[in-house]
Structure formats: C-alpha cells, structure tokens
Structure 1
Amino acid sequence: MREIKFKAISELSEQQMNESGVPHKGKFVVGMYNDGYMLDGTADADDDYYTPEVWCAVKSATVSEYTGRQDFNHVEAYENDIVSLFHDNLGDPESLMGVIELCDGQWIVHNYRHKRTLPLYQETMGLLSYGSKFDHPELLEEVKPSNGDE
C-alpha cells in the first residue's frame, strides 16, 4: 500500500519556514492536508483529538497528492508534476512528456497538445520528473494545447 501524503506551496517564505522549524523542500511543504493547512508529526493525541507537531498554511490550489512512484533519480512523483515516461528496454522509443493527473482512480500522464495519455504505472516504462507545474510553468508549453482548448 502506498504512503498517503501531499505537497503544496507554503504561504510562508523559505526563510520564515526555516525560522519556524517547518520542514520543507524549497517552497513546498509535505505532509497531510487539511482545510488550507499542511500537518506533519504528532505532538499530542488521544481518542478525542489530534494536535500536529507542525502545521503550515498553504496555497490550496497547489495541493498535490503523492502517487507512490519515484523516478529513476529517486525523486517522488506527485500529482501536477511534469514528467516524461519512456521505455526502459524494447518498445516504442518515443517518450511522453505530460502532467500527472488522477483520472477515474488511476494515475495518468497526460499531454494535451498531442492528445496522448498513458498510465503512470507500467512495468516497462521509466520515469523522469522535471518538477511541479507550479515550479516550472514554462514546461507547460510542451504539454498544453497550442490553441488553449483542452
């Protein structure tokens, strides 16, 4: 079973997160998401309540779920990440660059421009992550439709 966690862009600056002791990867905070906040660790809990060790306000529009998959550099792949799928050995030599999305309960890599979609989980497919579409909006030019229609 895969680990359930999320990442999102913090409302705090990286300096503020460092000063507050909020664990982060660049401007992203990783943990459990709840109503505009990313929660991590347990400071106190019993049958009636839970107090997180760390909580941080995040930009809700940037919340992305962990897919349970890592690329060949051991980088965790999240929803809204821009990735390339490619064959590890024999097969179609053409790779597919796209955005990871959840569609009908399955993680997919979708390229709107070329109208191609592949499942994220395939035994013969390698994965290379370029980062989040929120970090690298210039990479979206490669995968979004040229006329703006999706």
Structure 2
Amino acid sequence: MKREIRFRAWDKVHECYLYDVQGAYDMLSGCVKYENGEDAVYDEECFAGFLDNDQYVVEQFTGLTDMNGRKIYEGDIVRTGEDNIGDPEPMIGQVIMREGSWLIENEKKQEAIELFSEITSREVIGNIFEDKQLLEGKQ
C-alpha cells in the first residue's frame, strides 16, 4: 500500500494554513494552496524553507480521514464517536505522533488513544491554532 505524504504549515504571521507545502520548489509553481484551494503567495523556495523558518509550524498528514472524509493532520482536534467499542469514554483531543504512532491525546484527562480505529468513528472538529478552546472543554 502506497502511503500519501503531505504537509500543511500554520503561518504564524498571517494566521492561516498553507496546504501541500511539500510541493514547494519554485516561487512560481502554484503548488502551495490556502485551505480554500487558492494559490498561496509565499517566500519559501522549497519545502526545507518551511521547515527552517520560525514563521511556520509544519504538520504532517496522518494518512487517515475522519468520518466525513476530511483529511486528519497532526495538530487537528478530534472527537471520538459515541460508537466506541473497546475505547474509553468519548473524548476530544489533539492528534500527535508518539513513538511512531498517531494518537489522540487529551492532556486534561492525561490519556491518549490510537487515532486509527476500525470500530470507532473519529471526527475533526478543529485545530490547535484556531480552536484551542476545544481542548479546554469550552465547546
């Protein structure tokens, strides 16, 4: 199975996400997009420019989609479904990578569960930059 490698970057200055930043290789390429699909204007000449620039926080695509077909990225805030079989109570947490596995971590409850599940739905409800209040239980 071929794994799709994708990255997005949170632009701290403009407070928005840039998508497909792994495709950045030429200032005129038109590869990097805003969330609405429009071409982004950016100063980086290559993907390494996003990684080395403190203006951006680069987040990786997990290779998974939520119950609505939305791509799940590192830094997304995910809610587990009511259809839990074997999972703990439904929870809201941030998608993180730990020891080679994608997890949903809820620091408040000090617990983490695997992001991937064949028996429980997952739904992206926000991200850590635009919706941090979701992690504080203020939905």
Normalization by structure 1: what TM-score?
0.65
Aligned residue runs from structure 1 range 1-150, under 5 A? 1-10=2-11, 27-33=16-22, 39=24, 51=26, 53-54=29-30, 56-57=42-43, 59-60=55-56, 62-86=57-81, 88=83, 90-91=85-86, 94-142=89-137
Give CA-to-partner distance per residue, 1:83-138, whole Å, 9 cap, x none: 01225464557212100000011000001111111010111111111121101121
- Amino acid of the residue matched to residue 135 of structure 2? L
The structure with the greater share of residues assigned to strand is 1
- Secondary structure in 1 matching 2:133: helix
Instruction: Kindly name which structure, 1 or 2, has the bigger radius of gyration based on alpha carbons.
Output: 1
- Secondary structure in 1 matching 2:81: strand
- Secondary structure in 1 matching 2:67: coil
| Identical-residue share of aligned pairs (%) | 29
| Match of residue 35 from structure 2 | none
| Match of residue 44 from structure 1 | none
CA change 1:90–1:12 in 2 (3 A) is closer
Cα distance, 1:3 vs. partner?
Answer: 1.1
CA distance in 1, matches of 2:82, 2:98: 22
CA distance in 1, matches of 2:119, 2:80: 10
CA change 1:70–1:51 in 2 (3 A) is same
Give CA-to-partner distance per residue, 1:55-84, whole Å, 9 cap, x none: 524632x32111111111111111011101
Give CA-to-partner distance per residue, 1:15-65, whole Å, 9 cap, x none: xxxxxxxxxxxx2111134xxxx72xxxxxxxxxx64613524632x3211
CA change 1:29–1:92 in 2 (3 A) is closer
